[in-house]
A and B are shown apart, each in its own frame.
Chain A
Amino acid sequence: MLGAGLPAGPVRPAQGASIQQLTTVLGVAGIYALLATGIVLVYRTSRVVNLAQGHLAILCAFFVAALLAAGYHWAAALPATIAVGCVLAAVIYFAVMRRIVGEPPFVGLMATVGIAILLRGVMVVAFGGVTITTQPLLSGSVSLFGADLSATHVLVAVAAWLLVGVIVAINHFTSIGLFMRATTDNVILAAQRGVNIDRIVCLAWVIAVCAAAAGGFLHSQRALVSTAAILIGVSALIAALIGGMDSFRGAVIGALAVAVSEYFVLLHFEARYADLAPVALMLVILTIRPWGLFGTPEEVERV
């Protein structure tokens, strides 16, 4: 949602303003897409809708900021955060998600709600009332198509979309991805053919949390981050739903749609309505196509 920190106020009508806007929207959409791919990956492997994605993202962003503030170099802080994210994902999977396999979707949903509010509490206690700005990795500006672009914004957009590409590539071209797709298609058959479902779903959680961590960090590169920023998770969820919960392509298109609709309302109407634009878009799309733009119709029946 607006926690995404689209720059409030009028956009400077400078030269190349449209390219600047494009970079901003692409950056925001990239962060949404990164989070949404994580949601889709977990959904595809375990049919659990992760409502805690935004919380995971912002928790990791805070963690990086804390490490950077403690004087660590970012080359140490980022891997450390990824490691913490992996441990967190494994804990979430083995302590909670593993135990409710086979329960109705209601239970999985409530479990992620529980995790979300737990993480929020941890965040508030550890970093409550803190607004962080991480030191930009890159400073200065980049000239592109005759427009002066902030190097940070370009970095965010490029890195986010690159990581989305990496996750999709893992799913499509590696053997682990093959196992994941097999799990998506039919868990029981996959298990019978020797796919270690436990490991695959755990791995899906790990990738999802790493995606969230990366998204949170990139978000903190381009905007002020406080605990309110957990709402980027809602935007990502809306993106995943618009695209169809089980489709990576859908998550990407959905993220673009969400970011564009937010930005459009921000530019042409008032900032306070920007939160509502993606919500309205989602309601329209779900009314016409309950399974989303690229989803499979049967999925609506499952959850």
Chain B
Amino acid sequence: MTVLSIQRRAMGRPPTLHTSYRQTFRLWRGKEWAWLLAGITVAVLWPFIVNAFWLHLSNLALIAVVATVGLNLLSGNARLVSLGQAAFLAVGGFAAGILGAQHGFPFWVCLLTAAVAGALVGILVGVPSLRLKVVYVAITTLALHFAITTMVSIYQVEAVRAHGIVMPIPDLGFVKLGDSRPWFYFLLVVTVLVILAALNIQRSYLGRRWIAVADHEVAARSAGINIAGAKLWAFAISSAIVSLAGALGAYYEGVLTAETYDIQLAIVYLAMIIVGGVGSVLGSVLGAVLLTLLPYMLDFAMKAGGIALSGGSLNGIHSIAYGALILLFLLFEPLGLAAIWYRIRNAGMLWPLKYTPLEAKR
């Protein structure tokens, strides 16, 4: 783990000379204006370039990015593997559903409450995890998964007596999010804010001590780090972000059903951080986008290839693809797509000089 995280941090950093910590940790190097401009242009034009289906996929991907960034803080940075991702999404979704759809609270209140509820549940789960390590944390969060999904499905049956809760159309005051287009801009803003928050947390004391605790708990403790505090903050922040994504997802889908949140969903999110890059915000984005699109790409490819399968079998094919991707990345590129990008970028920055990244011997 130590080797991996040293390698990860070394690769994430551009191969340039830094003479102060300030330089090393800064997010804005003052040379990204072109990138920023290009990004904004593409983002503004995007809903007008692509058709409705792709816009829908983009929105799904943005929601997945928020959720994955949240998960990656917990499972990637603090190395507390969470199988409870679906449960945290359900907490957010149902907090929004209960408040927004059942009691008519405004959109903003519901989003904030969803995040707070997620943080509280996260802390609740975090407490028994304090004495436990990786595997046990995974199982505790798996326990949480069963507890939460049972509770929400009972709520759905008892309180709603229907197959799902119909969510209201969110009203931002100046615009209603009824169509994919306003949704896209709204989700884009939220996603960018969450990404910036995550990047900032990662370089702050809060995030750096997660890495320290994950690398070596005893060493971290002897360096004066409050282990319990670090882990609880990881749970709280991560689950707040994930629950926010859950609430966004519920509003975006329009209908909230307990069956959405199955264990498969939790595993797909773990696949996203492994494929994207464990502990990397860029990795979260890449992994979330790729794996959100993957099922649609597979379906498309099979349709093009003339293979007709029933819906259930397609679901099985998606499962196989997720599993194979997890295994392939674990075995051959454990730092994920982010590492591939860093390698390309570093080589590009130093060209025509040769660059040998700090590769750990495996």
CB distance from B174 to the nearest CB of A (A): 43
Known A290-B132, A300-B132; judge A115-B150 contact (CB<8 A): no
Known A107-B330, A118-B327, A283-B143; judge A128-B313 contact (CB<8 A): yes
Most chain A CB neighbours (cut-off 10 Å) among B143, B150, B318? B143
Known A121-B321, A276-B147; judge A114-B315 contact (CB<8 A): no
Known A117-B267, A117-B322, A282-B143; judge A104-B131 contact (CB<8 A): no
Cβ-defined partner of A301 (8 Å) among B133, B271, B317, B334: B133
Residue of B nearest to A287 (CB): B128
Instruction: Count residues on chain A whose CB falls below 8 Å from chain B CBs.
Output: 49
Pairwise interchain contact B319-A111, C-beta atoms closer than 8 A: no
Pairwise interchain contact A124-B150, C-beta atoms closer than 8 A: no
Known A115-B327, A279-B143; judge A272-B150 contact (CB<8 A): yes
List of B residues within 8 angstroms of A303 by Cβ = 133-136
Pairwise interchain contact A109-B134, C-beta atoms closer than 8 A: yes
Interface residues of A in 98-157 (CB under 8 A from B): 99-100, 103-107, 109-111, 113-126, 128-129
Pairwise interchain contact B323-A117, C-beta atoms closer than 8 A: yes
* Cα separation A11 to B216 with both chains bound (whole Å): 53
Pairwise interchain contact A276-B322, C-beta atoms closer than 8 A: no
Cβ-defined partner of B334 (8 Å) among A107, A117, A125, A282: A107
A302 at the interface (CB under 8 A from B): yes
A262 at the interface (CB under 8 A from B): no
Residue of A nearest to B2 (CB): A104
B138 at the interface (CB under 8 A from A): yes
B244 at the interface (CB under 8 A from A): no
CB distance from A115 to the nearest CB of B (A): 7
Interface residues of A in 287-301 (CB under 8 A from B): 287, 290, 300-301
CB distance from A262 to the nearest CB of B (A): 12
* Cα separation A118 to B325 with both chains bound (whole Å): 9
Interface residues of B in 1-34 (CB under 8 A from A): 1, 4
Residue of B nearest to A270 (CB): B154
* Cα separation A275 to B143 with both chains bound (whole Å): 10
B305 at the interface (CB under 8 A from A): no
CB distance from B71 to the nearest CB of A (A): 13
Pairwise interchain contact B326-A275, C-beta atoms closer than 8 A: no
A169 at the interface (CB under 8 A from B): no
Interface residues of A in 218-244 (CB under 8 A from B): 234, 237-238, 241
A96 at the interface (CB under 8 A from B): yes
| Per-residue interface assignment for chain B, residues 130 to 168, with 1 indicating a CB less than 8 Å from any chain A CB and 0 otherwise | 011111101110110011001001100000000000000
Cβ-defined partner of A121 (8 Å) among B134, B310, B317, B334: B317
A160 at the interface (CB under 8 A from B): no
A286 at the interface (CB under 8 A from B): yes
Residue of B nearest to A274 (CB): B150
* Cα separation A120 to B312 with both chains bound (whole Å): 12
A273 at the interface (CB under 8 A from B): yes
Pairwise interchain contact A286-B140, C-beta atoms closer than 8 A: yes
* Cα separation A125 to B311 with both chains bound (whole Å): 10
Pairwise interchain contact B147-A120, C-beta atoms closer than 8 A: no
A49 at the interface (CB under 8 A from B): yes
CB distance from A268 to the nearest CB of B (A): 17
Residue of B nearest to A99 (CB): B331
Residue of A nearest to B332 (CB): A99
Known A96-B331, A107-B334; judge A118-B150 contact (CB<8 A): no
B79 at the interface (CB under 8 A from A): yes
B320 at the interface (CB under 8 A from A): yes
List of A residues within 8 angstroms of B325 by Cβ = 114
| Per-residue interface assignment for chain B, residues 310 to 352, with 1 indicating a CB less than 8 Å from any chain A CB and 0 otherwise | 1011011111111111110011001000000000000000000
Cβ-defined partner of B1 (8 Å) among A104, A122, A245: A104
Residue of B nearest to A275 (CB): B146
* Cα separation A279 to B150 with both chains bound (whole Å): 12
Pairwise interchain contact A125-B316, C-beta atoms closer than 8 A: yes
Known A99-B331, A106-B1, A106-B79; judge A286-B326 contact (CB<8 A): no
Interface residues of B in 214-266 (CB under 8 A from A): 264
Cβ-defined partner of A124 (8 Å) among B1, B135, B312: B312
Pairwise interchain contact A276-B139, C-beta atoms closer than 8 A: no
Pairwise interchain contact A105-B154, C-beta atoms closer than 8 A: no
* Cα separation A144 to B4 with both chains bound (whole Å): 60
Cβ-defined partner of A111 (8 Å) among B136, B142, B147, B330: B330
Cβ-defined partner of A113 (8 Å) among B136, B270, B310: B270
List of B residues within 8 angstroms of A272 by Cβ = 150, 153-154
List of B residues within 8 angstroms of A118 by Cβ = 319-320, 322-324, 326-327
List of A residues within 8 angstroms of B330 by Cβ = 96, 100, 107, 110-111, 114
Q: Which residues of B contact A (CB under 8 A)?
A: 1, 4, 79, 81, 128, 131-136, 138-140, 142-143, 146-147, 150, 153-154, 264, 267, 270-271, 274, 310, 312-313, 315-327, 330-331, 334
Known: A104-B4, A124-B319, A286-B136. 14 other contacts (CB 8 A): A106-B79, A106-B134, A113-B267, A117-B323, A120-B323, A121-B319, A121-B323, A123-B316, A275-B146, A279-B146, A282-B139, A286-B140, A290-B131, A303-B135
Q: List 14 A-B contacts (CB under 8 A).
A: A100-B331, A106-B81, A106-B134, A114-B325, A117-B271, A122-B320, A241-B139, A272-B153, A272-B154, A273-B150, A279-B143, A279-B146, A301-B133, A303-B135
